[in-house]
Structure 1
């Protein structure tokens, strides 16, 4: 049975809990509709061919459920034709669902906002039921919909229709789930937490939202940019925004959405439109970017808004990083001899006396931060040549024991070379990929010039202490 009935021919909703069925403009509407339904029954017209359908839970789920009317003990009733449609109205709410509703109300009350669960709101001639409705600041209304893993593999249907109906009624829809496949949909603004039992959701520990809230990274599309150009060109020189996933505490999300500090946006990309939550400051900067992408939007003033650590214990343990793999104990990795020495980070007190770096063009460049000036370009070349020589030596060996020993030497040399490139690129604010390509090309060209002239290679001191000398770098036996 249901209290809301959809009349297909009249195209109106009938509320059986009201004497006038919710339409005071029509006189004796119940008598007219009930008499027509009884006439259909007397002529054996199938229920599915009549004019009445469920206008509540079944219609919201995208199901056409035929109904007929009756009067029992003086009470008006609308009855489903099929038993499975009737069961849809009596499906029990899970404990996890109830725990989320209670937590939303508690978090809102702690922020000074009021709310209620299972709120039914009139939208024109139809109805909308919200799991938990929060009355926020400045007349803001946040409608939280909890959709957990008990909904089935296909997921909830008509989410976009329900969200649109809520927006038309002045309710900001906020859908929360614990399923990754729901969170990846863009029919509404989804947020997701881990799949947790009801007693964990209900307690006062920190419940973290792992998906659905993002921070916008604003950057200029030039040679120093880390992100690829969204327009598909190499570098367009304009300003862009890239969303980056961020985690947030569920209680803070409830209070911030009610206060208007966190807002939903629709982010356009070249192929699709995404929906997620961002801070109000990021939303304003994004609107400024859409208005003029020739310059970066001004950064918001973050004074007094520093994040503080939470005093509550988390609801779940953080995932630990896997332990780094170690070399086999049968062949321990010996220290690589003859590798270029990469100086450690200098002490800040001695930064003023640091040696200027040598740029790829061969000129001396003074960096912005002396503490980052740890290597020179010549050291990068030397480190790369040492790694190349160690690799060539590995290719010439046939014994498994010797290859295992030489592989450790090569990995150590390559690791030092990569670390040096990273520090140099960071200190000089260069594109790391382009710098690495230039270092490799310069190192190999230097070895080629050395072989053709049969003279000592640049920075020969780097190689003379290696087993076999520089002869094995040219492919000859030691």
Structure 2
């Protein structure tokens, strides 16, 4: 049985939990629909040839499930024609699915964002059912859908329609899975983690997203380029972007999508369009490239998609991912802690450790923030400014490494300070940057 029915002829959803079926503009709608269905029954019309279908779980999955109406004990009921359609409603939520929902909400709350699970959003005469809805910054709403089971041999259906409906109504769809077959689909923006038991998903260790997030490498198509020309010719002389896989921590993904620092894009590679998650800085540079591909888009101030973490991993990293941690190089400015790029290796970065041991920090009298946060952000900005002044390729690579290290150190410091003081990390970061870049503002 189901409470929501789709009427094929009227093309409306009927909510049997409401006296007017949620259509007050159509008086006596129940009597009309019920009497029509019973009339078809007396004539022997098959249920599959009548006007009613399941408007709930089955419709969301793209399955046409015929139904008929009945009255039992004075209560309105709908009945599926096929047993397999009925069983689709009674499949219990797995422990792994519940663990993901709890983890998404916990990660959002730690970042200063709200949210709830199993949220039903009214859209005109229909609804959007969201596994977990995160309320982000600036009115941003991220609708997380967790898909861990295989529906049938043809896989999940109706994803594009559900994602499109959510996007049209202000909800950014974020679908997560542990099935490689789903992660390779291109009907929405998928992310994937390794298949883990519920107790590992729920705990506070680091959970990796191994598919779905990309960093964009921008390059000039000349004889020194390491990538082949996407147009299939030798060298076209234009600027291009290449999407490279990068792992990111699941908790960081939840928080940064809510903050707007990780965003979905549609990336064209040849004749095919892919759907990836990238940093907002990469998205902006890609927009610049698409507007004018005769030159490389300018470097933008950006933070890494994920800072290195001091947490233990949820599982043993794959052997292929293990590598000796890079040795910290001497920073261009004095007293700057350095950490390796994350999350290439799940180790405790030097920068995070050094900052974590400082329980007492000297606060800047004018801003109220620790003076070290201001100094680290200023150092990162200075390193980025020096990078823009260089033209030699080798010198730019060295300076880019310095800039990334200083930026990661600043990010680690902001993250630790926000968590310690139970503040919204996005707001702390924005305030620090505003103080450094607009001292008189």
TM-score, normalised with respect to structure 2:
0.71
Name the CA shift for 1:427/1:28 in 2 (closer, same or farther; >3 Å): closer
Cα distance in 2 for residues equivalent to 1:427 and 1:114: 45
Q: Distance in 1 between matches of 2:156 and 2:34?
A: 33
Cα distance between partner residues in 1 of 2:12 and 2:152: 31
Aligned to 2:89: 89
Per the alignment, residue 319 of structure 2 pairs with: 320
Secondary structure of the residue aligned to 2:201 is helix
What SS does structure 2 have at the residue aligned with 1:285? Answer: helix
Partner of 1:238: 238
Q: Secondary structure at the match of 1:234?
A: coil
8 Å contact kept, 2:281–2:301: no
User: Which residue number corresponds to residue 309 of structure 1?
Assistant: 308
For 1:115 and 1:226, locate their aligned partners in 2 and report how far apart those are by CA, in whole Å: 44
Tell me the CA shift for residue 153 of structure 1.
4.4
Quote the residue 2:18 is aligned against: 18
Across the aligned residues of Structure 1 and Structure 2, the Cα RMSD in angstroms comes to 2.2
Shift of 1:123: 2.6
Counterpart check, 1:180 vs 2:183? no
Quote the residue 1:436 is aligned against.
Answer: none
Alignment of 1:273-288 (within 5 A): 273-288=273-288
Q: Which has the larger radius of gyration?
A: 1
8 Å CA contact retained: 2:279, 2:305: no
User: 10-19 or 67-76: which moved more?
Assistant: 67-76
Structure 1 unaligned runs (5+)? 324-347, 349-425, 430-478
**Unpaired runs of 5+ in structure 2?**
323-329, 331-392, 397-441
Partners of 1:60 and 1:257 in 2: CA distance:
25
- The separation in 1 between residues aligned to 2:395 and 2:70, in whole angstroms, is 82
Work out whether 1:65 is the aligned partner of 2:65.
Answer: yes
**Superimposed CA distance per residue, residues 166-224 of structure 1 (whole angstroms, 9 cap, x where no aligned partner):** 11121111010111121111111000101111100000000010110000001111111
Q: Deviations over 1:228-269 (max 9, x none)?
A: 111111111111110011110000000100111100000012
CA gap of 1:322–1:246, structure 2 versus 1, over 3 A, is: closer
Residues in 1 aligned to 2:24 and 2:256: alpha-carbon distance in whole angstroms: 41
Aligned to 1:397: none
Shift of 1:307: 6.2
CA distance in 2 between partners of 1:183 and 1:109 (Å) = 27
Q: Is the 8 A contact 2:54 2:80 kept in 1?
A: yes
Aligned to 1:170: 170
Normalised TM-score (structure 1): 0.65
Q: 1:71 to 1:296 in 2, by over 3 A?
A: same
- Distance, in Å, in 2 between the alignment partners of 1:230 and 1:268 is 10
- Give me the whole-angstrom Cα distance separating, in 1, the residues matched to 2:52 and 2:147: 29
Matches within 5 A, 1:179-258: 179-258=179-258
3-state DSSP of counterpart to 1:211: coil
Q: Which residue of 1 aligns with 2:433?
A: none
Q: Residues of 1 paired with 2:218 and 2:182: CA distance?
A: 28
Q: Distance in 1 between matches of 2:151 and 2:52?
A: 27
Change (3 A) 1:188 1:27: same
| C-alpha displacement of 1:146 | 0.7
Larger RCO: 1 or 2 (CA < 8 Å, sep 6+): 2
Deviation of 1:320 (Å): 2.5
